Amino acid sequence: MSYRLQRLPVAKPSVAFAARIASVVLALLTAGLLLKLVGMEPLALAGRVLKSTFGSSFGLEDLALLFTPLLYCGLAVAVALRIGAWNIGAEGQFNLGAFAATGIALFVPGPDWALLPAMAVAGALAGAAWILVPTLARAYAGVSELITTLLLNFVALLLVYWVSTGPWLDPSGHALATTARLPVAVPEVWGIVHWGLPVAMILAVGLAGVFAFTRWGYEVRIGGSNPGAARYAGMPVRRHLIAVMLLSGAIAGLGGMMEVAGTVGRLQGGISNNYGYLGIMVAVLARAAPLGTIATAFLMATILNGGIILQTQGLTTHTVLALTGLILLYAAIGDEAAKYRIVKLAKGA
């Protein structure tokens, strides 16, 4: 009796999910082994991280403040992936959303109930506008959005740094390299987080429903998996591509608005804290599933929050970066391994 490996074109959802869980567990075990080899106690460190993160309202608040922007950026990247596009520019769109929201808050007078919706709309529109050129270049000229969205990140970062240290610098002089504090803030909910988090979770659930139960969502999925077949069936692939990428940018921009108005309170350089780049990992680990991004963004926020705690134990930020890299590496291996199965050969075969 003999066996052989058979490669499937697509992994079964249950097998792919199990492989993803196994990849995270193996990455954590590998990290623990490496810590043990350098003289650390991984179980004791893990206990401190869990206690500091989940054992107090302060720890939960820190976790929620990391979870919220990661969820927005993860959703932005995941939405684009549904149609086969890579939005590497969530970092720039996040910054532009914060920039536009700050402009509304500082220079447009009005009551809080009117300013906050206006800031949200401005942030979303700014994020969509920042991805418009890469979108049109991809849709009409076949230019890779990987390059164009990535390069625009640096432009956005420099723009935010310039306005926060120059034209919009706090005139009172109370803060260096930032704008004045915004006169309006996103209200808190549950006492540990602002409304940005429940809004992001509602958005994730809504997007999951749209992609699963609407004709538009179905055509987007087909256009992403097999553009040629979608065009042959008469589906407007180009139009869907433009709509999806603009939606992706709008979500990242909305995340930037929530960050500046709900967490930081003023615009400053580096406000994104690399959330846009980390959102790529969130989306990849979630396999571009909107509901999956909730779990993977939470995992990533826990790891980042744990990294802050681990620094007090003598470890550096590079340890956290190495752990996230391990998770992504094992996830890639798991995705490929999930496509294989062992089959028994018939006698005489």
Q: What is the pLDDT of residues 168-193, one digit of tens each?
A: 998 887 777 899 999 999 999 887 88
Q: What is the Cα–Cα distance from 15 to 333, expressed in whole angstroms?
A: 13
pLDDT band of residue 149 (cuts 50, 70, 90) is very high
Q: Report whether pLDDT(328) > 90.
A: no
pLDDT band of residue 64 (cuts 50, 70, 90) is very high
pLDDT at 348: 54
Query: Percentage of the chain with pLDDT > 90?
Result: 57
**Other Cβ atoms within 10 Å of 152 Cβ, number:** 21
pLDDT band of residue 90 (cuts 50, 70, 90) is very high
- Mean pLDDT for all residues in the chain: 89
Q: Report whether pLDDT(141) > 70.
A: yes
pLDDT at 297: 95
More confident residue, 72 or 21: 72
Domain 61-314 class, CATH top level: mainly alpha
Q: Report whether pLDDT(346) > 70.
A: no
Q: What is the Cα–Cα distance from 11 to 286, expressed in whole angstroms?
A: 15
pLDDT band of residue 199 (cuts 50, 70, 90) is very high
Map residue 314 onto helix, strand or coil.
Answer: coil
pLDDT at 53: 83
Provide CATH 1.10.3470 ranges for the chain. Answer: 61-314
pLDDT at 249: 97
DSSP string, 49-62: HHHHHHSSHHHHHH
60-69, 74-83, 207-216, 311-320, range with the lowest pLDDT: 311-320
Q: Report whether pLDDT(3) > 80.
A: no
Q: Report whether pLDDT(167) > 70.
A: yes
- The H or E element containing residue 15 is helix 13-37
Partners of 6 in the β-ladder? 341
Tell the residue number behind the tokens 């940018």, with chain if given: 249
**Residues in the chain, overall count:** 349
pLDDT at 169: 92
Reported as a single tens digit per residue, the pLDDT across 111-128 is 888 999 999 999 999 999
Q: Report whether pLDDT(266) > 70.
A: yes
pLDDT band of residue 1 (cuts 50, 70, 90) is low
pLDDT at 213: 95
Q: What is the Cα–Cα distance from 148 to 134, expressed in whole angstroms?
A: 6
Query: Comparing C-alpha atoms, which of 342, 279, 345, 329 is closest to residue 23?
Result: 329
Q: What is the Cα–Cα distance from 202 to 218, expressed in whole angstroms?
A: 20
Q: What is the Cα–Cα distance from 182 to 344, expressed in whole angstroms?
A: 66
